[in-house]
Amino acid sequence: MTNDAHARLRDEWRLAAPLIDGFTPEVTETLVVTNPATGAQVGRVALADVRHADEAVAAAVRAFPGWRDIPTTERGAMVLAAVDAVEAIADELAALISLEVGKVLHEAQGDVRGSLAMVRGMVQLVAELEAGEDRTGLPGTGQASFVRLRHVPVGAVAVIGPWNTPIFLTFNAIAPALAAGATLVVKPAVEAPLALTAMLRAMAEHLPDGVINVVPGRGSVVGQHLAEHPDVRAVSFTGSTGTGRRIAAAAAANIKKVALELGGNDPAVVLESAEITDSLIAELVAGCFAMTGQICFNIKRIYVHRSRHDELVEKLSAAVSRIVVGDAFDPDAHIGPLATRDGYDNALRLLDEARAAGAVVRELGIRADSADWTAGNYIAPTVVTGIAADHELVLDEQFAPIIPIVPFDTDEEAIVEANRTEFGLASSIWSQDLRHAEAVARRIEAGNTFINAHRLGASVPLVPFGGVKQSGLGRTHLLYSLEHVTDEHGIVGFSHPAAQLPGITRWQTVLADHPAKENV
């Protein structure tokens, strides 16, 4: 199946090349993009440089006034036409994601189609906001005859995307920007640039030149330059906490909007009041092992009340033993390889160190015939017990199909351990007693705390998503996403020069008592 996918891959998609103002500039340096399941070459990425980044920003700045001033309904129709064009190639793009990232095909399909749904939703939301919010007569508006609050696009937006979910997470910033009337400079991750670049090129054909610009390149070169560029009005980054710090520092020099979705080490706390049911186990498995553990808000560590520990470990291990590890195109596979060799090497190191520290490391799952364990970045789904609460595998983000389980004796102990790291993306509490669960949830330091869930789909659109502490800045979902790519613009009107406003009487007196005199 993998060979079939390679054969069907369009020639023009085998190179992730820059797109600037509707043109493809020549780039001499490239890197190989490999399939993490086999090590085979999938394509190449052209490494743009600072000059290309400058040209892309200049193109976005030039295109901005015209794109902004297109009536909202007309602009929305253009964006929807671009989405429709991608819909026709969605399955091909999903297969390309599986080739360059290794995630199983149905997860890759969700990456593409979820992004299209996101754009459509943003277009509808912006249309509803077109007239702005009328606050006339509300408390706090004083003597004003009318008060309007609008959201206006910021200008050129730089989006620096991740490799683990290369389209959907990048579109968390792209979708609101396009819908709101901002223009874009997008830097795909060099590890997984092919599908995102192909999708953006397909969309750009239906939009004015300069609205979407793509500059693949090294983060230390292109990403850094975009973050510090004075004409970029907002920058959005998804990736590691260390890189996020550098992005924030670079952006600070020019006082621009910064949105950072960074690392997470999400805790799941299974309380004494929990019942270890089959549905709880199924939810934990989905939350720990989806996308081979490479989701920012996957469960990365489980704390379980000591009275429930042995039962949870036994039932969870039995469930994990049924996970099939295979090639992304194997219809029987549940998870694929890790996307990067660095991630694979780090996972092996953590497991070796856990064993050396005396932990019990259970490598489970079923190895499908489709998986080449000698060539691919395959890690068996693994349950680790008997590990110290302060071990690196527990306190750091392993980003792999590995789950450490640590017992606790009191709620207070669980809360302290859950809050022990500088990560604070998401978290979860598990219990049959919702009052007990919510009381504990209120004390967890995280952007979101779920009760009896913790996986893709648990984060609802009406609740903002994002992290606290070192897990990020800003929020996504609906209006929260639009806030990053728009500025609030208040228009306050008076029917005539308002003599009744506070403080005006004194100035009227000053002007009356001191007639104008000629300057000497």
Active site residues: 261, 296
Contact 174, 13 (CB under 8 A): no
- In whole angstroms, what is the distance from residue 369 CA to residue 372 CA? 8
Contacts of 199 (CB under 8 A, 6+ apart): 86, 93, 112, 115, 167
Tokens 């020549």 belong to: 26
- Beta carbons within 10 angstroms of residue 380's beta carbon: 20
Contacts of 245 (CB under 8 A, 6+ apart): none
| Beta strands 133-134 and 41-46, pairing class | unpaired
b/e string for 295-326 if b means 16 or more Cβ within 10 A?
A: bbbbbbbbbbbeebbeebbebbbebbeebbbb
3-state secondary structure of 139: coil
DSSP annotation string for 374-439: TTS-----EEEES--TTSHHHHS---SSEEEEEEESSHHHHHHHHTSSS--SEEEEE-S-HHHHHH
Contacts of 325 (CB under 8 A, 6+ apart): 333, 334, 335, 336, 365, 366, 367, 368, 371, 378, 380, 381
- In whole angstroms, what is the distance from residue 109 CA to residue 372 CA? 23
**C-alpha 140: how far from chain center:** 37
Q: Hey, which residues does 126 pair with through a beta bridge?
A: none
- Beta carbons within 10 angstroms of residue 421's beta carbon: 22
**C-alpha 164: how far from chain center:** 10
- In whole angstroms, what is the distance from residue 479 CA to residue 196 CA? 24
- In whole angstroms, what is the distance from residue 371 CA to residue 78 CA? 43
365: left (phi over 0), alpha (psi -120 to 50) or beta: left
- In whole angstroms, what is the distance from residue 305 CA to residue 319 CA? 20
| Beta strands 486-493 and 146-153, pairing class | antiparallel
- Beta carbons within 10 angstroms of residue 437's beta carbon: 22
Contact 216, 17 (CB under 8 A): yes
